[in-house]
Chain A
């Protein structure tokens, strides 16, 4: 499989305003040097706690948030070098599905208007063609075309998320960032939406970046998983390897928190103490050392490098 997207050393720093004149001193490093690559047709999941920068990273890759530094190579083109006009046209190739299906649809527009918008922007279609395309799109995501003239508030969360997915697919993108697409949905609806997303991936040969904090969802949908902590990737591995043999202490703690279906099996729970450190003042050395059960003295001063420990598996930890 060829590489579709390569991200090198992506950074997004937010200045923290202090004082009356807005003097900028501290910065919050929401994303601090993330490098990864995604192969065509695969699903890369990014997991991490709230505030670890996973959503910021996803939006930075699409340049919905302008990254501070780094390279984003989409089919070898650095999209950070595109001017606003070129970028707008480029957006047909990469789309996003949002977390909150209540906030992601304009409440004053009907579903037809919402789904027509991408077509209106890029294709000159007659009224009847437009109608057909919208109907087709709705059927693809499992909605009935007769519902097109309803407003978002007339739909349930799962149906709205289908509309959100339909909008993202309207322009036939190659790459879709899914920013916690099912975490706002009822558990019963989650499975449907996940199945739909898988079917669509097959049908349109999509590449997903699936951002989530729900490991059971990640286990189901992803081919590879990247674990983020305080703006950095700490581990990246194929899904099965990661779940069976997590390397980084943080990953181990996350996996041990997963509920097991078999109550007979006893598993050692690793409980992390304390909160995520303030991202404005991240700990020196390894950012995780304050909560790490296997921290060593050198973890406080040495920043672990991102290294490949076995083919396809990378980890940033001094233990390896």
Chain B
């Protein structure tokens, strides 16, 4: 049989080859807003870790002589109705808030990803059952569902965390389900099957790593949401027990004093919740811009496209 003359040699240099691989971290650091978010989170983590060093006061012991003092040099954020320093309490409370947000998201992320991958890859009856159960979860407003779960387990920090993580699961299941459905039709997955890979290997080594980017973005944004829900549960008394300094609980304790003019008891924990959520959301937005360029927003740095 005749040979067709090969016109070019094997080593074609493509523009792709010369394309510089820009590190995700470099892209992220060039996004000013996400850097602000990172800074906020670092500040909160530092406060949580260094609370005992930063403040001479106790977050729990009452000091009746100094109750309800407005912000001053000795009490930056004022004191509450038991005379406890608000700044100290906020700094100590940061660990509960950040911990419950991160841990809850970690749980929903893991459970959701596994369930979504199974539903998406195997499909069938099992997949339908998983997805319909998730739809049931989504039918409830998140906070109402979280309250119901927390109340049924019994109040406490752990039960609040479990409630928040359960509420978060469907989001990740649906995302992973869609990603898996998309990827399982890809030819490299088919090639894996043609070689004789087991389903579990295909799922964990081929599909999962390619599906993670949007899930990670979602998780970062989800931490903010988890903080909001867990603070709400604590505000409603379904979380930590009273003397413990937690932002949501602090607002609950101080809310009756707003009318009498002691605004600082509620405002500073409220600001703390707002800034920590903002921090995670800004990081999440930045991450999304970097990991998923199709959704790159105007706030992202277009130079590095």
Which residues of chain B are within 8 angstroms of A106 by Cβ–Cβ distance?
188, 206, 210
Q: Which of chain A's residues 109-137 have a Cβ closer than 8 Å to chain B?
A: 117-118, 121-122
Asked if B193 and A64 make an inter-chain contact with CB atoms under 8 angstroms apart, the answer reads yes
Asked if B188 and A117 make an inter-chain contact with CB atoms under 8 angstroms apart, the answer reads no
Q: Which of chain B's residues 17-43 have a Cβ closer than 8 Å to chain A?
A: 17, 19
Which residues of chain B are within 8 angstroms of A98 by Cβ–Cβ distance?
187, 190-191
Q: Roughly how many angstroms separate A158 CA and B10 CA in the complex, as a whole number?
A: 8
At the interface, yes or no: B209 with Cβ under 8 Å from chain A?
Answer: yes
Most A-side CB within 10 Å, residue of B3, B8, B195, B197: B195
Q: Which of B6, B187, B198 contacts A88 (CB 8 A)?
A: B198
Query: How many of B's residues come within 8 Å of A, CB to CB?
Result: 30
Given A104-B187, A106-B206, A91 contacting B8 (CB threshold 8 A): no
At the interface, yes or no: A156 with Cβ under 8 Å from chain B?
Answer: yes
Asked if A121 and B210 make an inter-chain contact with CB atoms under 8 angstroms apart, the answer reads no
Which residues of chain A are within 8 angstroms of B209 by Cβ–Cβ distance?
108
Given A105-B188, A155-B16, A121 contacting B196 (CB threshold 8 A): yes
A-B contact count (CB 8 A): 95
Asked if A104 and B191 make an inter-chain contact with CB atoms under 8 angstroms apart, the answer reads yes
**Nearest chain A CB to B211's CB is how many angstroms away?**
11
At the interface, yes or no: B74 with Cβ under 8 Å from chain A?
Answer: no
At the interface, yes or no: A9 with Cβ under 8 Å from chain B?
Answer: no
Which residues of chain B are within 8 angstroms of A96 by Cβ–Cβ distance?
190-191, 194
Which residues of chain A are within 8 angstroms of B17 by Cβ–Cβ distance?
154-156
At the interface, yes or no: A281 with Cβ under 8 Å from chain B?
Answer: no
Which B residue sits closest to A144, measured CB to CB? B11
Asked if A143 and B10 make an inter-chain contact with CB atoms under 8 angstroms apart, the answer reads yes
Asked if A171 and B195 make an inter-chain contact with CB atoms under 8 angstroms apart, the answer reads yes
Most B-side CB within 10 Å, residue of A162, A164, A168, A192: A192
Q: Which residues of A contact B (CB under 8 A)?
A: 59, 62, 64, 87-89, 91-92, 95-96, 98-100, 103-108, 117-118, 121-122, 142-144, 153-156, 158-159, 162, 164, 167-168, 170-171, 188-192, 194-195, 198, 220
Q: What are 30 A-B residue pairs whose CB atoms fall within 8 Å in the complex? A: A62-B194, A64-B194, A88-B197, A89-B196, A91-B194, A91-B195, A95-B195, A96-B191, A96-B194, A99-B187, A103-B186, A103-B187, A106-B188, A106-B210, A107-B210, A117-B197, A143-B10, A144-B11, A153-B16, A153-B19, A154-B16, A155-B14, A156-B17, A167-B195, A170-B195, A188-B7, A189-B12, A192-B7, A195-B6, A198-B1
Q: Which residues of B contact A (CB under 8 A)?
A: 1-8, 10-12, 14, 16-17, 19, 186-188, 190-198, 206, 209-210
